[in-house]
Amino acid sequence: MNFIEFRRKMFDLACFNINQVYAWQPDFNRNNLVRWTNRGLIIRLKQGYYTFPEYKGKADYPFYFANRIYRPSYISLHTALSFYGMIPEAVVQITSVTSLKTASFSNAFGEYSYQSEKEELIFGYDLKPMEDGRTLMFARPEKALLDLLYLYPFYDSTQELEELRLDESYLNEDLSRDILQEYTSRFENKALEQRVQRLIITYGL
């Protein structure tokens, strides 16, 4: 297999897996991937998933790969809260929510963390456009906040909620109280409802 031919076929996919390679070339020698990875011609994202080094310089692709290498999933929690400016800290990991089991991966694009929720709780995300026409599955701000309170139940006191240092201007001007309440009811979780009410009181929403 000639790498130039392989690259021409796979490059525009950005993220490809071994099954896509076999669908194109059923007799493909998987050792090629090992050799090309060792030479730096391709980058291994996780077992069976790869990309090309040219994508390291492109905006949003670490987020895009988060969606692609563990599906279904959408970016949420600390990464989404930081993106919206609701928390002051820069986030090292790219954090996502999935209906699969909890998992984490590390590759040349960053550290990826996936927290598990029931399938019926996989909602409240948008498809955000990228510059080249692809899309990102990204939690809406209300859902990112609820995912945090649901998956990290220690945020159950005024002190713990204050230590989140949520941006009060964002909460009062950009966060939808109606959507927050609607999404909360879909969880059907009394403990979460109590945490949300404490959040509302703590930040004066």
List pLDDT tens digits, range 91-141.
889 999 999 999 999 999 999 999 999 999 999 999 999 988 999 999 999
pLDDT at 65 over 90: yes
Assess whether the previous peptide bond of 62 is cis (omega < 30° from 0). Answer: no
Residue 175 parent element (H or E)? none
Same-domain status, 23 and 118? no
Of 36, 57, 78, the domain-final residue? 57
Banded model confidence at residue 149, pLDDT cuts 50, 70, 90: very high
Last residue of a domain, one of 32, 57, 82: 57
Q: Is the pLDDT of residue 6 over 90?
A: yes
Instruction: Tell me: do 145 and 89 sit in the same domain.
Output: yes
Q: Is the same domain home to 98 and 190?
A: yes
How far is 164 from 159, CA to CA, in rounded Å? 9
What letter does residue 30 receive in the DSSP assignment?
T
Mean pLDDT of 186-199: 97
Mean pLDDT of the chain: 96
Residues 87 and 178 in one domain: yes
What's the whole-number mean pLDDT along residues 40-53?
97
Total structural domains in the chain?
A: 2
My answer on whether 151 and 194 are in the same domain is yes
Looking at the structure, do residues 101 and 124 belong to the same domain, yes or no? yes
Closest CA to 36 of 4, 69, 58, 70: 4
- Whether residues 48 and 99 fall in one domain: no
Q: Residue 26 carries which side chain, given as an amino acid letter?
A: P
Which helix (H) or strand (E) segment is 53 a member of? none
Question: Concatenated DSSP letters for 73-137?
Answer: EEE-HHHHHHHTTSS-SPPSEEEEEESS--EEEEETTEEEEEEE--GGG---EEEEEPTTS-EEE
Residues 49 and 73 in one domain: no
Residues 131 and 31 in one domain: no
- Structural domain span for residue 35: 3-57
> Quick one: 65 and 51 in the same domain?
no
- Please indicate, yes or no, whether residues 103 and 188 belong to a single structural domain of this protein: yes
Domain boundary among 25, 40, 57: 57
Per-residue confidence (pLDDT) for residue 78, from 0 to 100: 96
The reply to whether 77 and 123 lie within a common domain is yes
Confidence of residue 57 (pLDDT cuts 50, 70, 90): confident
Report residue 94 as tokens: 């790219």
Tell me the whole-structure pTM to 2 decimals. Answer: 0.93
Lowest pLDDT segment from 82-91, 129-138, 175-184: 82-91
